[in-house]
Amino acid sequence: MLVALDGTVLLMAQPSLRRDLGASMAEVQWTSGAYLLSVAAFLVLAGRLGDRYGHTRLLFTGVLGFAAASAGIALAPGAGWVIALRAAQGLFGALLQPATLALLRLAYPPARIGGAVAVRTAAIGLAAAAGPLLGGVLVERFGWRAVFAANVPAALAIAAAALFVRVPAPPPTEPGGRIRPGGAALLATALAALVHALAGVPEHGWSGPRTLAAFAAAAALAALLVRSERRSAQPLVPRPVARSVPVTASVALLALVSAALFGALFGASFALQDAAGLDPVATGLRVLPMTAAMVLGAPVAGALLRRFGARGTAMAGTGLVALGITGLGPGWGFGVLGAGFAAVMVTATGTVVGDAPAGHAGVVGGLKQTAMNVGPALGIAVAAGTGASPLALAALAAVGLLPASRLPASRLPAPLPSVPLPSAPLPPAPLPSASRPARGGGRAGRAAARHLVGEGAGERGEGGPAPDGPADGERRQGGDRHQAQRSG
């Protein structure tokens, strides 16, 4: 909730931040881009570190660092300091996010993990979707710095609670516990290049030389990463995870649907504030139906998941997201959008957690959160490159039907083959800020935004049971040995 709220509250703080610090449009955009780059680059490595050294330790370290970075931003004297500290905030956010899912995976038995994930999704959805309204109130009453200062007491309270968390320790994931820095560095660099390329689309276009060069660099780094991972005896993404169809399909689904959602919100926020002339509080009120749909939709989605299985629930939720995007103009789309996204989040997150191989819950959680952070950058790029066309963004959501069709059709996730013991918003991840279009595209961007929400000219993250965790396996093995002794 802390991370999700921080991202969506920033949505309403950026205009005030720009005026107060005299920042350029590019600098305002990078107050979000720096965070997204940092968090996307380090999430998988953070999950891997949690699997090795303990998720509670990573959660404690991450939340303390998040508090320190937030305090620094609240005191920052210039835009450069804000951008640098937002990058640091992203690093610490990467440490704490995978830990939350991994701790649930270790703490809850299979029969109860679905309910825990649904509660987590509803809470994150409430925080993220309520962020614009809360942000509007904070900015109007206390200024943009209050948005970041508010993180500090909440983060310190979470750090204090983390001291009392007691869960079974994950088993070692590799001999000697060594984590190869080469794979981690390649993954971080490839993701950074990809997000950088997507963030530059509004300014340079899809076919601009800088954009094409950044995409080429990302592709080359990804190829090197795949080659390195295949040759390594201790890959960053363990082979049981990479070969799990439910896990990879869920990650792809989350990336595509979150891209469509955030791209639509990007266009809608500019339409409501720039074209319709609404203030931040009034804009936040327009988003309240999405808030309610996310909170109420999470437990409903959990029940549907148990009744109809992951595949059916995910495909229905993806369809609702596409439908909701087309209905933002008439006004009924926000509620449909929230309900669909809640269904996708609950289903995909529950499948990711449920199908995580024993001892790899952290890295799986990192992959899930990476998708949720790369997706928004893709969505904003598509929105900027297509004039925030509802049809284009709905089509992007519809592509998610392909990975959704690869999820388990049964009511319960199919268990993975046994693996030797070597083992999340808005929307659940921070919403990217509604940064303004780049220079030269402002008039076209505003016109496209009006088109997205139907304004005329002059108007302005579940719940399938999981395979047994480490502690469950040990208890079952002990019972088997006891039964064998009695039989003997």
Determine contact, residues 111/465, Cβ cutoff 8 Å: yes
105 three-state secondary structure: helix
Which two tokens mark 149? 């200062």
For tokens 């309403």, the residue is 12
DSSP 137-155: HHHHHH-THHHHHTHHHHH
pLDDT digits (tens), the chain, 488 positions: 888 777 667 767 777 787 788 877 667 767 777 787 777 777 777 777 777 777 788 888 888 999 999 999 989 888 889 889 988 988 898 888 777 777 887 777 766 777 777 788 778 777 776 777 777 788 878 888 888 888 899 899 988 888 887 766 655 544 444 556 666 778 778 877 887 787 777 777 788 888 889 889 889 988 888 888 787 776 767 777 777 888 889 999 999 998 998 888 877 777 776 666 676 667 667 777 887 888 788 788 888 888 888 899 999 999 999 999 988 877 788 899 989 998 998 888 878 776 666 666 667 777 777 787 778 778 877 887 777 788 889 999 999 999 999 998 865 444 433 333 333 333 333 333 334 444 444 444 444 444 454 444 333 333 343 444 444 444 444 444 444 444 44
Q: How far is CA 449 from CA 142, 187, 397, 454, 479, in A?
A: 29, 34, 18, 9, 62
Dist. CA 158–CA 303, nearest whole Å: 29
Backbone dihedral region for residue 224 (phi beyond 0: left; psi -120 to 50: alpha; all else: beta)? alpha
The overall longest dimension of the chain from CA atoms, in Å, is 86
First to last CA, the chain: 53
Tell me the C-alpha distance between 6 and 63, whole Å.
13
The span from the CA of 91 to the CA of 66, in Å, is 8
* pLDDT single digits (tens) 405-453: 999 886 544 443 333 333 333 333 333 333 444 444 444 444 444 445 4
